[in-house]
Structure 1
Amino acid sequence: MPARPVYAFAGDLLLAHGPLGEALPVVHAAARGGLGVLVFDAATGKVIDLDLRGTADEALARLAPLSGNKPEGEPEKRGPGRPKLGVTPREVTLLPRHWDWLSSQPGGASVALRKLVEAALRETEGPTQARRARDATYAFMTAVAGDRPGYEEATRMLFAGDWTAFDAAIEAWPADIRQAVTEMAESSWRNGKGR
């Protein structure tokens, strides 16, 4: 069952928040009841297009491709590299002095490159997560509150990291939208400048 976290809204009302597989029955029932429902990916802030035809169980069964799981019985595709380790070869262009340095490292070029990439990933993890959270919050805010009073100020404060002014700018928004925006931005606050 897809664990992708979502926010499902009907207008200003939050219908469901949590894993997509758990939210889908609520979304399906609301759509069948004639409500216009928008489902947002919590990680990106973008609308997810769902196929809600048939029963809730049928719609749920169609979610397997969204979760990244391959359908049963489909053979695993194999290509070059070490597929059991998830390794696929790619071409890297470096100067001769770079190759000389890499080959002199313990374990050779591959080990040295992996260590360098892992160190860079660890170093930029917080700022990268903060940027992604900010971008997701911005995408979500634009979709649900782009025409609301305080939107432009909230956007400026989101990117400036002024959380007091951000809270003030969204204060007049409906409670469910305000709550979702704040929750989405919290990762930015945790990994960025703090709140």
Structure 2
Amino acid sequence: MKHQIPKALIFSRLIIGFAIIAFSCFHIDNYEIVAITLLTIGLLTDIFDGIVARQLNISTQKLRRLDSTVDQVFFVSVAVATYIQCPDFFASNVLKLTLLIGVEALTYVVSFLKFRKEIATHSIGAKIWTLFLFATLIQIMMQCESTILFDICFWLGILTRLEIIAIILTLKEWTTDVPSFYHALQLRQGKNIKRHKMFNG
């Protein structure tokens, strides 16, 4: 039963993401508080599903791929819900958002063209960007605007997506949990890399 905990944490993000969309569509009372609470719970499940899986020694490639895919669906769901609440913010930042989405999509295109699989690098840079994305979404939910924090999130998102593309192009074979481009170079040279047991192991 305990081996099902990581999967339960992963799939709970799907439920949370769809719930946030539903609450946004119905314009429930205190939506901001409810959405931010659910978003925070979703982020915590994202952090702990990998930690639990590694502690139980069941962190398989299949599980890591599932984690990456669900992460995408979760944050897209939150973005859709936020758009319903704050369409003016998205309209005024459409160029940056389109570019960011385009670069994100490009990482998947490159990965599928090279390895016929989706990305699951779980790089350190991507994890840091997720925290900034989390903070930015909270600010937008609360104020329907974000300037400095959104700009940081945008540029960090672009840079980390470009690093992921560089990692994919550098790797000789599809690999999960590559902390950085430097580690991808080491793997290409046939060297063993050091991964953090708790966060990238």
TM over 0.5: no
Higher RCO (CA-CA < 8 Å; seq separation 6+): 2
Q: Which has the higher strand share?
A: 1
Please state which structure has a larger fraction of its residues in helix: 2
TM-score range, shorter chain: under 0.3
TM-score computed with the length of structure 1 as normaliser: 0.26
Structure whose alpha-carbon radius of gyration is higher: 1
TM-score by length of 2: 0.26
